[in-house]
Amino acid sequence: MSAIHQAETRADAPAAAQAFDELEAMGFGNGLFYFKQGNAHMQAGDLARAILAYRRAARVLPRSKDLQQNLAEARRLVIDPPGTNSRPWHEWMPPLNTQEQYLVALACWLLGWCLAILRLYRESRLITVAAWTFIVLALLLAATAWASEYDQVLRPIGVVREDAVPLRTGNGNAYPPLQDRNGPVRVNRGVEIRVLHERPNGWLRVELANGLVGWLPRSAVLVDDS
């Protein structure tokens, strides 16, 4: 980490960002690491890499106010971001990362069955209701954590790295751009997407936050494959 500290001391943000990227390529990475990586890229002027690093950090540090603030500031720099539809059901849970959700689910599961066993020795409607409540809650939390992980595998996050990239109707430059009421749809640097499919010819089928689905060249997108 000395290269990063030296770069930060010299206020050399590009060097700090490069040092973080090299460490990531070597296998380093946790919530705080990605947060600082995002900060370095923001200072270096690389909006797309900053947003991607912040999104990675948010999966591990969902309650960090500093992270939420920095991500919000980065998003405000995106030109003409697409609107958003309703959030997936598994994102409506309390701000816990997946490991925490599994741990809470396990605790609820054990507590529920302890109450169920207690019910065998003591007649109580309250104990029965509490036991079933904890068991159902455990199943919901586990399903939420699994859905979040599965969604990231099937539809990884991506961030557009260039400005005015046409969202095309097919996987190639020969296909025309999608049209909306304002004309051809173009996405700008920093726009967050979900990658639905990747073709061998280097094109990605993607979904925007507003639900539009189209194709972008792989070279124009940073994909979270962590």
Between the alpha carbon of residue 45 and those of residues 14, 18, 161, 218, the distances in Å are 8, 12, 12, 21
Taking only the tens place, the pLDDT of each residue in 52-101 is 999 999 999 999 999 999 999 999 999 988 876 555 544 555 678 888 99
CA distance 145 to 197: 23
Taking only the tens place, the pLDDT of each residue in 102-133 is 999 999 999 999 999 998 888 889 999 999 99
Taking only the tens place, the pLDDT of each residue in 175-199 is 999 998 889 999 999 999 999 999 9
pTM above 0.85, yes or no: no
* Domains of the chain, each with CATH number or no CATH: 2-76 (1.25.40.10), 89-152 (no CATH), 157-223 (2.30.30.40)
Instruction: State how far Cα 88 lies from the chain centre.
Output: 12
